[in-house]
């Protein structure tokens, strides 16, 4: 009997196919047109593996047995396992391996052995997923963002969650929410945040892999989805899970990251012993609504946070919200663990507000000073009186009730921060041998911290600055790509930056978008050789990606093509986007000189607008110059503000600025010398976009200020 007759042909693995939805794009057009092409003039073996099997080889069942002198026959199955696996290893990647799984149960087990796949890569040479290394275990859930599968990674033996996200090759490419999520998660490493295992973007398909966790907090509290509620968790379990949640949120807020959709369904619970949550580990997942915030606060959309966990400031129409939005959601989750059901279950925004007011009392000017000035304020709000929390939550200790009250404070500026909540006595050692709970990553472990806090500034600004100083040391390196890019010169880069700033200005995008786009361009050029004909295409693609990360309404690929006078197509932008994201490995959340400049300006409470505008003008001039790539963004920002102080007031440093930046003159001397040369020559700069921007009245016409004739900047 032929072995071939025992083996069935392998079916195509169609269960992993994805139907891509029609294109969806965000309209973002301007009445002004920026049709300008940047014209750049040109300046003067692998060995193939041999096939490991012979297609013409015919084996018989008797051939799998070895003859012995005593007349007995020893079956192949009785050979040592190591030898069998060694033989099977030659068939990895061939159809034979799949066919051999059909011979017997033992062969099926052996051909699935992890050791066979130890060296199998996760992706193929063209970047697509190598499905040989993954086995689909079924769909976990479906949503508007894509489909999530449970899969087995053969090379590691891990069970992973795979999110297959929608990509729109005829629309706007990788969705903005996926870019923001991956940009944030790529830089996050925390024991209580679901980590990235792998990202694959190839041929208009995006696959993201996470560790698989079977249960969520929602399934633990209410496993049957009973509308009347579920189980009340013991306080020692609440205390542990709440501390882990606050630990993760505090870590995010230090990095300027707002989750904006915290709820029990997005909190994964991992346990060593099923149904025993005394030592459970909580991990935050689903960062689809994540936002990387900054200084100063900007306006964001109000369509965030599931209604039951949405804070009152967003319900009241506030758009310039802060990390306090996540803290309110944490308070709602705390209450849900304590009573076995959600605390507020409104069916509309006004119903949600009324449920909050009826349990916590209607806000007043004393409890929330900004309440009456918010867009959705109405005089006819019912006047509810406060209800004691101990009646609502009889199973929570007094310290727990005190923390809950601070988490659910109306005024977001007075609401306790996640950082301070971790220091609350509720997490101190308790009677009965309950140990004190400590953050997994204390602030003391960060490489840079501020030694001074400024009166009136929120705590998260200092923590955010500390994170940026730590991040720039890891992410910002000196690049010298022009020595390898034979067709590009410093002037070409300056022309591109000038055009990017003009597009940002005309389409009223966030200025940080331009700084990010330039960063992406420089990092890409440091790795990939780019022809001069593709240089503006690269810049436009970087701007498209940066806009999707930063702007509420991002610029579309058709608008970008129009701005370059259609020298490239929208399809070319999307093709370049895939190459760009893979080259940068989705590391898109990076510190810029503008971030540091905004923080240092905020630390100087008496800073005049004219000085502030001049410092920003200098930062954009520096952005155009290739020579500044060797300096850290914080150094560039400090020099811009210091030179602006000197040009306007005659002194280059103040105690507030030096306390904030913690640089001395020796740290700044080289960068300051380069900046003074650029500023002195700015009157003769042939690139006029930045100069025109800062010749306007609303920017104090700082471009028309004459640079000092001499500089005495040392301090």
Q: Is the pLDDT of residue 66 over 70?
A: no
Query: What are the structure tokens assigned to 103, written together?
Result: 């011979």
DSSP 457: S
In CATH, 215-445 is 3.40.50.10800: no
Q: Is the peptide bond before 296 cis (omega within 30 degrees of 0)?
A: yes
Q: Is 450 helix (H, G, I), strand (E, B) or coil?
A: coil
408-414 mean pLDDT: 95
Question: Which residues sit opposite 268 in a β-bridge?
Answer: 216, 283
pLDDT of residue 610 exceeding 60, the answer is: yes
pLDDT in tens, 175-211: 999 999 999 999 899 999 999 999 999 988 999 999 9
pLDDT tier at 84 (50, 70, 90 boundaries)? confident
Three-state secondary structure call for residue 150: strand
pLDDT in tens, 539-548: 999 999 999 9
Q: Say if residues 421 and 327 touch (Cβ distance below 8 Å).
A: yes
In DSSP notation, 188-252 reads ---TTBPPP-EEEEETTEEEEEEE---EEHHHHH-TT--TT--PPPPHHHHHHHHHHHHHHHHHH
Q: How many secondary structure helices (H) and strands (E) does the chain include?
A: 25, 12
Domain ranges of the chain: 80-116, 134-211, 215-445, 465-472+592-704, 477-584
Token pair belonging to 138: 């079924």
C-beta neighbour count of 281 within 10 angstroms:
16
425-436 residue pLDDT tens: 999 866 445 677
Q: Report pLDDT for 588.
A: 95
What percent of the chain lies above the pLDDT cut of 70? 84
Q: How do residues 366-405 score in pLDDT, each as one tens digit?
A: 999 999 999 999 878 899 988 889 998 988 999 999 999 9
Is residue 640 classed as helix, strand or coil in its secondary structure? helix
Mean pLDDT of 607-636: 96
Domain covering 465-472+592-704: architecture: Orthogonal Bundle (1.10)
Residue range 676-702, pLDDT digits in tens: 999 999 988 889 999 999 999 999 999
- Predicted TM-score (pTM) of this structure: 0.84
Judged against a pLDDT cut of 90, whether residue 342 lies above it is answered with yes
* Cα–Cα distance, 38 to 639 (Å, whole number): 30
3-state secondary structure of 161: strand
Per-residue pLDDT for 537 more than 80?
yes
Helix (H) or strand (E) holding 543: helix 535-550
pLDDT at position 434 is 61
pLDDT level of residue 642 (50, 70, 90 thresholds): very high
Does domain 134-211 fall into CATH 3.40.1500.10? no
- CA–CA separation, 668 vs 322, rounded Å? 33
Say yes or no: do domains 134-211 and 215-445 share a fold: no
Q: What CATH code is assigned to 477-584? A: 1.10.472.10
At 77, the pLDDT band (50, 70, 90 cuts) reads low
Lowest average pLDDT, out of 84-98, 450-464, 485-499, goes to 450-464
Q: Which residue has the higher pLDDT, 165 or 593?
A: 593
Reported as a single tens digit per residue, the pLDDT across 471-504 is: 999 888 878 899 899 899 999 999 999 999 999 9
Determine the Cα angle at 445 with ends 441 and 448, to 5°: 125
pLDDT at position 101 is: 74
Split at pLDDT 50, 70, 90, the class of 648 is: very high
- Closest C-alpha to 485, from 626, 354, 608: 626
């Amino acid at each position: 009997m032929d072995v071939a007759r025992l083996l069935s042909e392998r079916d195509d693995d169609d269960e992993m196919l994805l139907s891509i939805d029609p294109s969806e794009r965000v309209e973002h057009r301007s009445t002004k047109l920026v049709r300008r092409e940047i014209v750049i003039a040109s300046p003067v073996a692998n060995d193939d593996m041999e096939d490991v099997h012979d297609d013409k080889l015919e084996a018989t069942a008797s051939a799998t047995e070895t003859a012995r002198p005593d007349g007995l026959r020893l079956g192949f199955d009785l050979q040592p396992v190591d030898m069998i696996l060694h033989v099977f290893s030659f068939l990895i990647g061939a159809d034979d391996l799949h066919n051999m799984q059909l011979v017997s149960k033992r062969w099926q087990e052996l051909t699935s052995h992890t050791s066979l796949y130890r060296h199998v890569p996760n992706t193929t040479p063209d970047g697509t997923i190598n499905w040989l290394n993954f086995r689909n275990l079924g769909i976990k859930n479906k949503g508007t963002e894509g489909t999530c599968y449970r899969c087995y990674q053969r090379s590691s033996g891990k069970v992973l969650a795979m999110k297959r996200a929608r990509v729109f090759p005829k629309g706007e490419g990788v969705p903005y929410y996926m870019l923001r999520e991956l940009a944030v998660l790529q830089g996050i490493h925390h024991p209580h945040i679901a980590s990235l295992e792998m990202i694959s973007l190839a041929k208009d398909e995006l696959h993201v892999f996470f560790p698989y966790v079977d249960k969520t907090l929602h399934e633990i509290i209410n496993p049957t989805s009973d509308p009347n509620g579920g189980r009340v968790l013991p306080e020692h379990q609440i205390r542990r899970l709440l501390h882990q949640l606050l630990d993760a949120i505090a870590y995010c807020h230090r990095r300027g990251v707002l989750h904006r959709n915290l709820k029990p369904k997005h909190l994964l619970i991992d346990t060593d012993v099923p149904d025993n949550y005394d030592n459970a580990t909580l991990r935050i997942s689903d960062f689809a609504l994540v936002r990387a915030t900054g200084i100063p606060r900007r306006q964001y959309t109000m369509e965030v946070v599931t209604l039951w966990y949405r804070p009152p400031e967003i319900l009241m129409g506030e758009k310039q919200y802060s990390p306090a939005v996540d803290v309110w959601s944490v308070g709602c989750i705390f209450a849900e663990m304590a009573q076995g059901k959600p605390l507020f279950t409104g069916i509309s925004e006004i119903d949600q507000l009324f449920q909050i007011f009826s349990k916590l009392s209607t806000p007043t000017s004393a409890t929330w000073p900004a309440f009456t000035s918010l867009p959705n304020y109405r005089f006819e709000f019912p006047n509810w009186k406060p209800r004691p929390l101990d009646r609502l939550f009889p199973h929570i200790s007094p310290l727990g009730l005190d923390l809950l009250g601070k988490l659910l404070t109306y005024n977001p500026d007075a609401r306790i921060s996640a950082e301070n909540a971790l220091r609350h006595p509720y997490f101190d050692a308790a009677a009965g041998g309950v140990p004190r709970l400590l953050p997994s990553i204390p602030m003391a472990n960060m490489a840079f911290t501020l030694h001074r806090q400024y009166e009136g500034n929120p705590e998260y600004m200092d923590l955010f600055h500390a994170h940026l100083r730590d991040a720039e040391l890891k992410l910002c390196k000196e690049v010298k790509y022009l020595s390898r890019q034979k067709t590009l010169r410093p002037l070409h880069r300056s022309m591109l930056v000038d055009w990017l700033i003009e597009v940002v200005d005309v389409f009223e995008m966030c200025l940080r978008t331009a700084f990010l786009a330039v960063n992406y361009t420089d990092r890409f050029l440091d790795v990939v050789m780019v022809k001069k004909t593709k240089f503006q295409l690269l810049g436009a693609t970087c701007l498209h990606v940066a806009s999707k990360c930063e702007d509420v309404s991002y610029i579309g690929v058709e608008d970008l093509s129009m701005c370059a006078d259609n020298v490239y197509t929208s399809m070319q932008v999307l093709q370049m986007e895939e190459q760009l994201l893979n080259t940068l490995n989705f590391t898109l959340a990076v510190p810029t000189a503008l971030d540091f400049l905004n923080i240092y300006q905020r630390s100087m409470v008496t800073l005049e607008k004219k000085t502030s505008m001049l410092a920003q003008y200098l930062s954009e001039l520096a952005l155009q110059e290739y020579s500044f790539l060797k300096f850290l963004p914080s150094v560039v920002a400090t020099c811009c503000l210091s030179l602006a102080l000197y040009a306007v007031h005659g002194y280059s440093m103040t105690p507030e600025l030096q306390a904030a930046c913690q640089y001395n003159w020796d740290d700044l001397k080289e960068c300051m010398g380069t900046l003074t040369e650029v500023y002195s020559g700015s009157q003769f700069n042939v690139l006029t976009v930045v100069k025109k921007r800062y010749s306007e009245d609303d920017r104090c016409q700082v471009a028309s200020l004459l640079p000092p004739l001499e500089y005495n900047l040392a301090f």
